[in-house]
Structure 1
Amino acid sequence: MTPARSAECQVRDEAAYWFSRNRAPGQAAEERQRFEAWLAADASHQAEYRLLEQLWRAADLIPEQRLRELCAAKAQPLPAPARRRFLQGALAAAASVVLAGGASYVFDPFSLRGETYVTQLGERRQVTLADGSTLDLNGRTHVSVSYTADRRLVRLESGEALFSVTPDKARPFLVEAGPGRVTVTGTRFNVRREARGMRVAVASGHVRVAGEQGEASRPLLAGDGVQVAADGQVGPVRRVDVAAITAWRQGKLVFNDAPLAEVAEEVSRYREKPLRVAADVASLRLSSVFRADDTDALLAALPRILPVRVRTHPDGSSEIISF
């Protein structure tokens, strides 16, 4: 190998190393400074690194099945000049996907990515997003995910999810759920979409919650919770039991001095037919733990805990009434 060829390979290896390190969560400021110094040291460093960035983004345009086929295929090494022509051609082809459509905007491959996830009654599912963040989805949940160069956006159309967000200060992570929005860079928090708005509870890190009324966003730290009303008004920040709120991940319903009205609303999320509660017993309070996949057992136990009984209606729905 000639000295020039050896130097080229070394630059390529260094670029690959820094490209990988820059996508690792929690990168130290000192390491980032070393990368910036390496990048500024030579024009070839910048060229090789930018090429890797372009390839990363261009890969988003390849269908998932085709990517799997490419990964499974036996690698066939190409000579360096051929490799360069192939990469340049691939990038040009990727760009032409946008240009051929007559688009007048600057090509942004992140905007072409998106996922939708839906769970059914009784289903719990964990998904990993393209940025490495994870979503734990409760039953009857519908989320859509999209990316741009400067943000990551999740729309919680219905249901509940626990978010574990990969830090990225350059691209904040936003969750929209009806009348409210949560903004983070990296943290772990639970969001529930309800008919009367949304609820947020923070397990670790910190977030900011805003409503549609345009008032200043509320900062939340670990152990904090807040409710955004259907009209977009953000309620007061309160200390909450995050473990109880997220117990659904273990298939549990945890009630700690909860009014029956709230119990009925929660249980309805795990039943085909809604559970109603009569007004004269709605304020009775319950403290107990039940299985989310066996709400019939909860209804059977209620009369032994509180002065109530459960009435079943012809349509299959149930109602908690006074004893």
Structure 2
Amino acid sequence: MASSETDEEAAARWAVRLDGGPLDAADQKELDHWLAVDERRAGALLRAEAALAYLDRGRALSKGDERESGPRSARLWKPIAAAGSLAAAVALAVFLVPASRSDRIEIATAVGEIRRVPLTDGSVASVNTDSDVEIEMASDQRNIRLNNGEAWFQVAHDRTRPFLVEAGKIRVQAVGTAFSVRRTAAGAEILVTEGVVEAWALGGDGRVRIPAGNRGFVPAGRGGVKVTPAPGGVDRALAWRTGELALDGESLGFAAGELNRYNRRAIVIDDPALGREPLVGYFRVDQPEAFARAVASTLGARVRVAGETIHLER
């Protein structure tokens, strides 16, 4: 396995190889060694094998009018690597989608859908639920327009072509880094995971640099860019990339609002005091009722389901 691979990517390769038939002695020894290095790798392999079975099931149920070419491993490895951590999720779809051959594409996700898309310049865009992103690769600049929602970008380094994200009147620019932009009615929130970005608003107070591990907010109206350190909060806020909501003291009301972004079944908190209760933990974004029942048992509340609404009350 290549040293640059993540455990999920390596697990995806092993899942495809195991699906092809029994391993020979050398491959089995290599697999045993890979599993022994970290006990969490066994779980990664199970998720990858489940994802492979899920994709095969979908292929068997399809009309069969698409012709597949190339070896099975080449066709399946990338989708498995992207879907491995969410193999059992049906409501939440996370797939590695090939970018169009054109240098201009639009990525629009439905409620509950997350897409991870490789771009023609070598960058990667992860687009969150209910979002719309337009991407254009020009000769002197890479232009991204975030019309709605949220996206995280792993930007391929290219000094000759800055990577510019537009969110209304707000601009975020990078050359080679990784960051997310979430557009709201109040402005745009920026989370930087690698490198440094510059953010500003047209007609505002000028550019502000936001380094890795920090959170920036650019208001849509008047006011300057606000930057706050968030070394642990950045990774938690971006847990959506693997279909999770990570909480570390945030309120139940906040959590319900976040989960409602991913589901048509809405969580409603009937008691304001209950909504202020702090929560800690990781939760699946595509299982609102399971979340509500887990919270109810912890906080001494009860769940009442009425149609497509999940009520939490004392």
Letter in 1 for 2:256: A
Query: 1:101 — aligned with what?
Result: none
Go from structure 1 to structure 2 and tell me whether the alpha carbon gap of 1:198 and 1:261 turns closer, same or farther (over 3 Å shift).
Answer: farther
Partners of 2:131 and 2:148 within 8 A in 1: yes
Q: Which residue of 1 aligns with 2:55?
A: none
SS of the residue corresponding to residue 237 of structure 1 reads: strand
2:265 and 2:288 in contact (8 A); partners too: no
Gaps of 5+ in 1: 1-111
Task: Indicate the structure with greater helix content.
Answer: 1
Q: State which of 179, 200, 205 in structure 2 corresponds to 1:210.
A: 200
Where does 1:71-82 land on structure 2 (aligned, <5 Å)? Answer: none
1:286 aligned residue: 279
Instruction: Answer yes or no: is the 8 Å Cα contact 1:180–1:232 preserved in 2.
Output: no
After TM superposition, the structure 1 = structure 2 runs for residues 125-274 of structure 1, keeping only pairs within 5 Å, are 125-231=115-221, 233-240=223-230, 241-274=233-266
Q: CA deviation at 1:233?
A: 3.7
CA contact 1:179–1:228 (8 Å) conserved in 2: no
Q: Take 2:276 and 2:292, find their aligned partners in 1: how far apart are those partners?
A: 17
Q: Partner of 1:267: helix, strand, or coil?
A: helix
- For 1:248, the aligned partner's letter is W
Distance (Å, rounded) in 1 between the aligned partners of 2:246 and 2:218: 22
Residues 165, 172 of structure 2: 8 Å contact kept: yes
Which blocks of at least 5 consecutive residues in structure 2 are unaligned? 1-101
The whole-number CA distance in structure 1 between the counterparts of 2:215 and 2:172 is 12
Q: Say if 2:259 and 2:286, in contact at 8 Å, map to a contact too.
A: no
C-alpha deviations, 1:130-189, integer Å up to 9, x for none? Answer: 222111122222110123333211111222221011122222111122352211111011
- Matching residue's letter, 1:259: S
The yes-or-no answer on 1:114 pairing with 2:112 is no
The alpha-carbon deviation at position 255 of structure 1 amounts to 0.7
SS at match of 2:226: coil
Contact 2:134 2:144 (8 Å CA) reproduced: yes
Q: How far is the alpha carbon of 1:281 from its aligned partner?
A: 3.4
In 2, are the aligned partners of 1:201 and 1:224 still within 8 Å (CA)? yes
Q: 1:312 to 1:184 in 2, by over 3 A?
A: same
The 5 Å alignment of 1:73-92 reads none
Mean Cα deviation higher: 164-173 or 143-152: 143-152
Shift of 1:213: 4.9
Cα 1:264/1:182, change in 2 over 3 Å = same
Is the alpha carbon distance of 1:150 and 1:277 closer, same or farther for their aligned partners in structure 2, counting shifts above 3 Å?
A: farther
- Give the TM-score taking structure 1 as reference length: 0.59
**How much has 1:237 moved relative to structure 2?**
1.1
- What is the SS of the residue equivalent to 1:175? strand
1:220 Cα deviation from its structure 2 partner: 0.8
Query: Normalization by structure 2: what TM-score?
Result: 0.61
Question: What's the offset of the Cα at 1:238?
Answer: 1.3
Q: How much identity, in percent, do the aligned residues show?
A: 33
How many pairs does the alignment contain? 211
Query: In the alignment, is the contact (CA less than 8 A) between 1:119 and 1:139 conserved in 2?
Result: yes
What is the alpha-carbon distance in structure 1 between the residues aligned to residue 298 and residue 168 of structure 2?
36
